[in-house]
Amino acid sequence: MSENIKTAKMIIDKSFKISEIDSRIYGSFIEHLGRAVYGGIYEPGHPSADNNGFRQDVMELVKQLQVPIVRYPGGNMVSAYNWEDGVGPKEKRPKKLELAWNSIETNEVGTNEFFEWAKQVNSEVMMAVNLGTRGIDAARNLLEYCNLPGGTYWSDLRKQHGYKDPHNIKVWCLGNEMDGPWQIGHKTAYEYGRLAAETAKAMKIVDPRIELVSCGSSNTAMPTFPEWEATSLDQTYDYVDYVSLHTYYGNRDNDTTNFLAKSLDMDDFIKTVIATCDYIKAKKRSKKKLHLSFDEWNVWFHSNNQDKQIEPWSVAPPLLEDVYNFEDALLVGSLLNSLINHSDRVKIACLAQLVNVIAPIMTETGGASWKQTIFYPYYYTSVYGRGTAIQAIVDSPKYDSKDFTDVPYLDQSIVYNEEKEELVIFAVNRSLDNPLHVDVDIRSFEGYSIEEHIVLANDDPKAINTLQHEAVKPVASKESYMENGKLVLVLPKMSWNVIRLRRK
């Protein structure tokens, strides 16, 4: 098809504030699943391994991403996990059947080791407790082990294990995806709500400083959504600080125009959960506003068939190793835009996951590590998406797809960093055929000019990165320009863009 240029208009005004962005929306997730831990972050025999067995090449890539918080140890795995198996002398730790992913868990890495790793990559830990096969007792004991300075059984046990200072873990998930029939110890919304509320009460007695996340729905297609939120939050609302959302997207029909519109589903998911939270707030005559923790999100579908071939009960099998392509990176860019545009209520989010398992970072056992296509939108948004989210007024041409109507070709989020006097535009052009010119009125940013325009573009939506060849990588663009105080963005067809403006 011929390249007809499409045009859009945008107004950016610093008074149109959405919210200060909580940096924790750029969080991630490491589960004891596949090669995320063993062969991912931890590989004692690796040439780059430190004294604790952690791969330093992986650490460097994680540090680049500036990941503020990492959820651990699961995921589905946590619902049958005994945390005590992963502490104390390594030679005494039991090897166990891991029921969620049909693997053997060696327990070489546990709470203390992961806390040490997180500290080294400048990240906080977001700890999940088992509300599948366990409950109040295990949760309060783990919290006492992690957060109390000493003088009690569990805190003194941590000291015996070589960790004198408490870990002071702030954010705790009350179970994982308890709405899912696939979950070990699956519960109804009422059963979960009762257990989570009582666990929350006990945990807040042990350490009143912590923040707690109540389990929401695993995705919008769940038959219990959003009734699950309404029923469970009726029990937990007074004791928790966040409700979780999880979702994954795939292009199973090989329909790129429809796939690139799937961030609209994320928007609807967020709006529905906000409405449900506010309904419970009204019902309880509460003054408390509940925030959202979108603590699992990504593209996940490429590895579904190969995962069926995995031999059960092996150690760290290569599970969920999606090879991401260029169109996946475009959608990830749009999903990050959605999180920024809802940053008034979404305060924590976790790209699931971080290494090898549906991940931006891949490793070879004993070998090198490399960046998948989705690494780049995650990296740039994490680094430059700190500050105040601004609501842009946008007039964009639109299209219809199989599941969506009125999909704007232009998808964007705007971040203003007042301290750095920097305005950042993250923009996706969803058009498969046409460049997009965007006339931007930056009325309240007089004296600002383009510092850089970074673009991720490729003519092949299925282009991938491998260890040997990086087909999808960012390049500098000189196409966008300033004219009479206005900004004109030139966005190539099928592209993800970051445009940074600075005050001169």
Q: Give the Cα separation of 503 and 448 in Å (integer).
A: 4
Query: What does the alpha-carbon distance between residue 215 and residue 233 come to, in Å, rounded to a whole number?
Result: 9
Other residues' Cβ atoms within 10 Å of the Cβ of residue 285: 6
Contact yes or no for 295/273 (Cβ under 8 A): no
Rounded to an integer, what distance in angstroms lies between the CA atom of residue 69 and that of residue 73? 13
Q: Provide Rg for the chain, Cα atoms.
A: 23
What does the alpha-carbon distance between residue 141 and residue 129 come to, in Å, rounded to a whole number?
A: 10
Angle between helix axes 136-147 and 189-206 (nearest 10 degrees) is 30
Please state, in angstroms and rounded to a whole number, the distance separating the CA atoms of residues 21 and 293: 13
Query: 34's torsion region: left (phi>0), alpha (psi -120 to 50) or beta?
Result: left
Q: Which amino acids are annotated catalytic?
A: 177, 296
Tokens found for residue 307: 């995962």
225, 274 in Cβ contact below 8 A? no
Cis status, amide bond into 412, omega within 30 of 0: no
What is the residue whose two structure tokens read 């059963």? 191
Cis peptide bond prior to 44, omega within 30° of 0: no
Contacts of 363 (CB under 8 A, 6+ apart): 35, 39, 40, 43, 55, 57, 58, 355, 356, 369
Read off the tokens for 319.
């599970």
Distance CA 131, CA 446 (A): 54
From CA 393, how far away is CA 385, in angstroms rounded? Answer: 19
Q: Please tell me the distance from the alpha carbon of residue 177 to that of residue 202, in angstroms, as a whole number.
A: 21
The CA-CA-CA angle for residues 226, 227, 233, to 5°, reads: 95
Contact 115, 124 (CB under 8 A): no
C-beta of residue 263 within 8 angstroms of C-beta of residue 338: yes
In a 13 Å sphere around the CA of 306, the CA atoms on its Cβ side amount to 12
Contacts of residue 221, defined as CB under 8 A and 6 or more positions apart, other chains included, come to none
